[in-house]
Amino acid sequence: MKKDIDFPKSENVFLAAIQQWNDDFLENSWYVYLINNTDETLEMVLAVSRAYGIINNEQRATGTFRHAFKEVAPKSIIKIELLENNVLQLNNEFAVTYFLNNKMFDKTFVFKTNTINDKALSDIPGTDLRGVLLK
């Protein structure tokens, strides 16, 4: 049972939505990155994403996507997925689980409806990038 498992608090691991040029769409697109701002390697990283919310008084949801990474190096970032423009008006949830020093960490990040935008940009720790940061 999950309530019986001790999950230490996840620290210095963040998500950020960063806008970059997309050659396929010929426009700037938002990509979600996992940021490992620790001095240790994250192992067996699993990110599960989905979007949900109400559009035009109708409940909407996307499918669930799963992304796995064997390792994420210390002080590095790794691209998780593209967020298409039509899902920015939904809540975009990312459940991230990883192992660090043989302990399992679990944290859920949610980009709330319409919070991914140019007005919400901030500096991304450990990089020279700007994006919408979730801690």
CATH number for position 80: 2.60.40
Predicted local confidence at residue 17, as pLDDT: 98
Q: What percent of the chain has pLDDT over 70?
A: 96
Please report how many Cα atoms fall inside a 13 Å half-sphere around the Cα of residue 93, on the Cβ side.
12
- Residue 40 DSSP SS3: coil
Q: Which of 13, 14, 70 has the alpha carbon at shortest distance from 46?
A: 70
User: What is the pLDDT confidence band of residue 6, given thresholds at 50, 70 and 90?
Assistant: confident
Per-residue pLDDT of 71-85, as tens digits, reads 999 999 999 999 998
Per-residue pLDDT of 23-50, as tens digits, reads 988 899 999 999 999 999 999 999 999 9
Tell whether the model's pLDDT for residue 125 goes beyond 90: no
**Cα pseudo-dihedral 93, 81, 34, 77, rounded to 10:** -170
Q: What percent of the chain has pLDDT over 90?
A: 84
Helix (H) or strand (E) run with residue 91 in it: strand 91-100
Which two tokens mark 119? 């007005």
User: Which DSSP state fits 25?
Assistant: T
Domain that includes residue 95, residue range? 2-134
User: What is the pLDDT confidence band of residue 104, given thresholds at 50, 70 and 90?
Assistant: very high
Into how many domains does the chain fold?
Answer: 1
Which two tokens mark 117? 């935008």
